[in-house]
Structure 1
Amino acid sequence: MSADDGEAWDGNRPRGKGSGDGGVLNRFVRLPPKPGGGGLRVPPARSGHRCVANNSNLYVFGGYNPNYKESGGPENEDYPLFRELWRYNFATGTWHQMGTEGYIPRELASMSLALHGNNLLVFGGTGIPFGQCNGNDVHVCNVKYKRWALFNCRGKKPNRIYGQAMTIINGSLYVFGGTTGHIYSTDLHKLDLNAREWTQLKPNNMHCDMPKERYRHEIAHDGQRIYILGGGTSWTAYSLDKIHAYNLETNSWEEIATKPHKKKEFPAARRCHSCVQIKTDVFVCGGYNGEVILGDVWKLNLQTFQWVKLPVIMPEPVYFHCAAVTPAGCMYVHGGVVDILQNRRTGSLFKMWLVVPSLLELSWEKLLEFYSHLANLPRAQLLHLGLTEGLIDRLK
């Protein structure tokens, strides 16, 4: 099922029209594919890509689509991969393909992506053929200056892998799991971003107490523990009723029993899902359990370990998609596989507020709805109209 442009969905029931509905909690809104800056293109349908968000933009990197026509045909010299970086501006609702300089990674599927200030950090991933062209370098793209660089590091790097998950905690990048295409991993590595040095962590556990080898999982953290959510192998998907957590203070793995929704319901096992985090709440969205594509959305609280099933269904159940959340609490979901038999991908972009928007965010959305030309005005005029520097930066 797919929603019409601008239509909000609560479960299977459409409610209302117009972008003003974007401020309603727990409803997906499909965003129309609108090119910006005089361009004619928006990101083609894809899977295996990654995205991150700040207050102003969603950044989408890489991806894969075996459909020759959908992937750009003769214009895409990297077919069936996408060696490109896209920016979706929230204020204008437009897509821009970013013209960047420097060396763009060639491992463009199932890499890891994180945002650190103005820098996109890309690690690992695979090219074509999958599993034979894997990466283990860290590439950095400064989104302000639109330039790529290789992040030179000391220490022994992780193996060349893809489908791993990573997060940044206190200035260090943590990478867990992944696959070479043949072997699945439970390796945990730490990269000190200041010292630029890799360290492989050796937890104080027996092998039987370790999480199972996996790829296409997601991770969350509370500053003290790194939580592993789902994932699997090419033949299995792991459940979410019990999750493993790595304790940074004790250097050990712990198994945590989570609490079900309404006393008995847990999220289905899944891999290739998405995960975003707002403070101590983690939101798991979509995925694949080995049989069907999932379209549910769940919330896990990292203090109580209580699961809550949100009263909403994705307009397009999807896996191998990407999702990111803004600092204000709005989740954006892009792309992915929507049909297994036809191997069909989507380029759809949806948003959903996961928390009640602040008065500032609601007012900003209304202002943009009635004055869509604001982005065309010079900064001096915007300041004269009373907009703050922070809001003006969102327009550019």
Structure 2
Amino acid sequence: AAQAPPGGLLNRFVRLPPGRGGLRVPPARSGHRCVADNANLYVFGGYNPDYNESGGPENEDFPLFRELWRYNFATGTWHQMDTEGHMPKELASMSLVLHGNNLLVFGGTGIPFGESNGNEVHICNVKYNCWALFNCRGKKPERIYGQAMAIINGSLYVFGGTTGYTYSTDLHKLDLNTGEWTQLKPNNMHCDMPEERYRHEIAHDGQRIYILGGGTSWTAYSLDKIHAYNLETNTWEGIATKPYNKKEFPAARRCHSCVQIKNDVFVCGGYNGEVILGDVWKLNLETLQWVKLPAVMPEPVYFHCAAVTPAGCMYVHGGVVDILQNKRTGSLFKMWLAVPSLLELSWEKLLAFFPHLANLSRSQLLHLGLTDRLIERLE
């Protein structure tokens, strides 16, 4: 049987140092998005109305961040990526997914919110640091922000969002091979549809798309009964989930984060309309059982971003930590959600003992016995 990693790493948040060697780090922000691969966390966009926290005169797009940052897990360093091409200008509450080496960005809003929304798909190849516009056909979704999206079976699905004035239950599909948009028209009575919402999250099991939380500026939707869209039958289904310890469900929330490992979905933080949440919950999509994890966020947060690595480590960055003072954070936390493999444990130990590995040449690293895949993580 797999053992829990040493030091109690599983289901425990670790605050990562702001950066090594006095390098610049991303200023505090909210409304940004992030994704992760084996080697890096990519953080795009965001918003901060505090001029000083926004990087002051250096941030020419104040109060938005027209930036793409990369955090390298092996070196523990941040790097603002110098990209070519047309980076999107809709920098708050956009959607972001990773597809191979490509970041796909859709929707989002500029300032003032709701006045300059997007409905284009922008692509950034992280190997070549180049932005391009995805040439799409068909009827695009409305210009929206706060929607959720996921890639399922070669298509990009987009649900919900807001124009800034109205909230949506629209479901669109973009075929990534043909570039064609289709608005899906479910075979349901309107009363069986999910409520209109933004800043929700979605999960999927290949057959169903599950809508988790979200709300409007005056509501937050509960997580005890959720809606799922059945891809095979083109219908919305109402699904009752099972409580933790037979009685406890996660609080209703919007502006939370959500990551998925196989059929386990992890919901983290958010805002219920009254307080900022710092809890972490797991929903199994096969059993529909909620489990409350022992982990508690070091600072409750909403409008943050989270991503999980292929190995099962979740990274949480930024967000709003104080409602009254409208204060944002630039903190970065990690937590193992799955038991790390022996390779991952050994890699972390090696990096802890030899923090300067990244300074060695490729030939030196090969001579030490590192594989090409591990060397790629240092680049």
Q: Given that residues 177 and 188 in structure 1 are in contact (C-alpha distance below 8 angstroms), is that contact kept between their aligned partners in structure 2?
A: yes
Give the corresponding residue for 2:25: 42
Give 1:356's match in structure 2, choosing from 325, 339, 354: 339
Pair 1:286–1:208, CA change in 2 (3 A)? same
Give the corresponding residue for 2:241: 258
Give structure 1 regions of 4+ aligned residues with deviation exceeding 3 angstroms.
20-23
User: For 1:77-107, what per-residue CA distance to the aligned partner results, in whole angstroms no more than 9, with x for missing partners?
Assistant: 1100000000000000000000000001000
- TM-score between both structures, scaled by the size of structure 1: 0.93
Give the corresponding residue for 2:352: 369
Could you tell me which amino acid in structure 2 is paired with residue 76 of structure 1?
N
Pair 1:85–1:133, CA change in 2 (3 A)? same
Cα distance between partner residues in 2 of 1:114 and 1:21: 32
1:22 shift after superposition: 7.4
State the Cα RMSD in Å: 1.1
Could you tell me which amino acid in structure 2 is paired with residue 28 of structure 1?
F
Give the corresponding residue for 1:175: 158
Give 1:314's match in structure 2, choosing from 282, 290, 297: 297
Query: How many aligned positions are there?
Result: 375
Cα distance between partner residues in 1 of 2:156 and 2:175: 6
Q: Given that residues 23 and 353 in structure 1 are in contact (C-alpha distance below 8 angstroms), is that contact kept between their aligned partners in structure 2?
A: no
1:274 shift after superposition: 0.1
Q: Does 1:346 align with 2:324?
A: no
Cα distance between partner residues in 1 of 2:279 and 2:138: 41
Q: Does 1:201 align with 2:184?
A: yes
Is the partner of 1:372 in helix, strand or coil? coil
Could you tell me which amino acid in structure 2 is paired with residue 27 of structure 1?
R
1:21 shift after superposition: 6.9
Could you tell me which amino acid in structure 2 is paired with residue 159 of structure 1?
E
Cα distance between partner residues in 2 of 1:179 and 1:341: 24
Q: Does 1:91 align with 2:65?
A: no
Cα distance between partner residues in 2 of 1:263 and 1:43: 42
Give the corresponding residue for 1:52: 35
Give the corresponding residue for 2:277: 294
- 1:118-133 to 2 correspondence within 5 Å? 118-133=101-116
Could you tell me which amino acid in structure 2 is paired with residue 120 of structure 1?
L
Cα distance between partner residues in 1 of 2:205 and 2:9: 27
Q: Does 1:327 align with 2:310?
A: yes
- TM-score between both structures, scaled by the size of structure 2: 0.98
Cα distance between partner residues in 2 of 1:221 and 1:22: 32
Q: Does 1:31 align with 2:16?
A: yes
Give the corresponding residue for 1:241: 224
1:76 shift after superposition: 1.2
1:35 shift after superposition: 5.1
Runs of 5+ consecutive residues of structure 2 not aligned to the other structure: none
Give the corresponding residue for 1:230: 213
Could you tell me which amino acid in structure 1 is paired with residue 378 of structure 2?
L
Q: Given that residues 239 and 268 in structure 1 are in contact (C-alpha distance below 8 angstroms), is that contact kept between their aligned partners in structure 2?
A: yes
Q: Given that residues 22 and 352 in structure 1 are in contact (C-alpha distance below 8 angstroms), is that contact kept between their aligned partners in structure 2?
A: no
Could you tell me which amino acid in structure 2 is paired with residue 125 of structure 1?
G
Cα distance between partner residues in 1 of 2:108 and 2:19: 29
Is the partner of 2:356 in helix, strand or coil? helix
Is the partner of 2:364 in helix, strand or coil? helix
Is the partner of 1:357 in helix, strand or coil? coil
Is the partner of 1:334 in helix, strand or coil? strand
Q: Given that residues 28 and 351 in structure 1 are in contact (C-alpha distance below 8 angstroms), is that contact kept between their aligned partners in structure 2?
A: yes
User: For 1:132-181, what per-residue CA distance to the aligned partner results, in whole angstroms no more than 9, with x for missing partners?
Assistant: 00000000000000000011100000000000000001110000000000
Q: Given that residues 23 and 78 in structure 2 are in contact (C-alpha distance below 8 angstroms), is that contact kept between their aligned partners in structure 1?
A: no
Give the corresponding residue for 2:61: 78
1:40 shift after superposition: 3.2
Pair 1:195–1:180, CA change in 2 (3 A)? same
Q: Does 1:162 align with 2:145?
A: yes
Runs of 5+ consecutive residues of structure 1 not aligned to the other structure: 1-19
Could you tell me which amino acid in structure 1 is paired with residue 36 of structure 2?
A
Give the corresponding residue for 1:5: none
Cα distance between partner residues in 1 of 2:35 and 2:23: 23
Which is further off, 68-77 or 247-256? 68-77
Is the partner of 2:315 in helix, strand or coil? strand
